[in-house]
Amino acid sequence: MLEGYMENAQGHQVPVAQVQEIDMARHELVMEKVAKVQAMHEQLARLKAELMADVGAFVTLSAERYGAKVGGHKGNVTLLSYDGRYKIARQVAEHITFDERLQAAKSLIDECLRDWTKDSSSEIQALIDQAFQVDKEGRISTTRILGLRRLDITDERWRTAMQAIGDSIQVTGSKSYVRVYKRQESGAYTAISLDMASI
């Protein structure tokens, strides 16, 4: 940025003398608060890394007392304070997608539905179609698709379709979370929130 100028939202250099006082004051307020939020964001990132590392180290230490070896930092674990007032929960959520075999499963399911619903309404077909719908980002709901596998249907085509769904599952990554909880008088645990919107 040139000295004596401020860059506006369109990327133009505007002489400071032409910037209205209220615009300057707003800009300074925003920049001051953003700097504080960015510093807090970095502090939270360091805290998360510390929590993940320390919980992982404790799990390894605990396993070693029994002569067991724990591979990596994968898996959910909950650590309780001795008095039970606090707990730290580490959770690892896997990101699941489906490959092209999901289309084979859909075709087999459609075949089943055509036979089963010859003389009935189309509501069942609509429910199945809903399970295969994509969201705004073009992603399919893993929960709805995997929910189909819990249905106890003995038709061989359905079983083959469920096998195709299982075979189509691809784990594309994982994300680790760590949450800290405090026990309330009722005995229920509530998370100690670090989200400004919920404080």
pLDDT digits (tens, 9 = 90+) for 19-66: 999 999 999 999 999 999 999 999 999 999 999 999 988 988 888 888
Is 121 part of a structural domain of the chain?
Answer: yes
- How much is the pLDDT for 125? 67
pLDDT, position 197? 82
| Parent domain of 110 | 96-172
What's residue 70's pLDDT? Answer: 61
131, part of any domain? yes
The answer to whether residue 149 is domain-embedded is yes
Overall domain count for the chain:
1
Q: Assign 96 to helix, strand or coil.
A: strand
Task: Output the pLDDT for position 36.
Answer: 96
Bridge partners (DSSP) listed for residue 150 = none
Reported pTM: 0.61
Phi, psi of 30 (to 5 degrees): -60, -45
Q: Is 194 helix (H, G, I), strand (E, B) or coil?
A: coil
Low-confidence ranges of the chain (pLDDT < 50): none
The C-alpha atoms of residue 51 and residue 69 are separated, in whole angstroms, by 21
Q: What pLDDT score was predicted for residue 131?
A: 76
Is 154 part of any domain? yes
- Phi, then psi, of 101 in degrees rounded to 5: -65, -20
Instruction: Say if 115 falls within a structural domain.
Output: yes
Quick check: is 18 in a domain? no
**Dihedral (Cα; 41, 51, 188, 80), 10-degree rounding:** -170
The reply to whether 9 falls in a domain is: no
Residue 140 in contact with residue 60, Cβ under 8 Å? Answer: no
Residue 119: enclosing H or E segment and its boundaries?
none
- pLDDT value for 117: 73
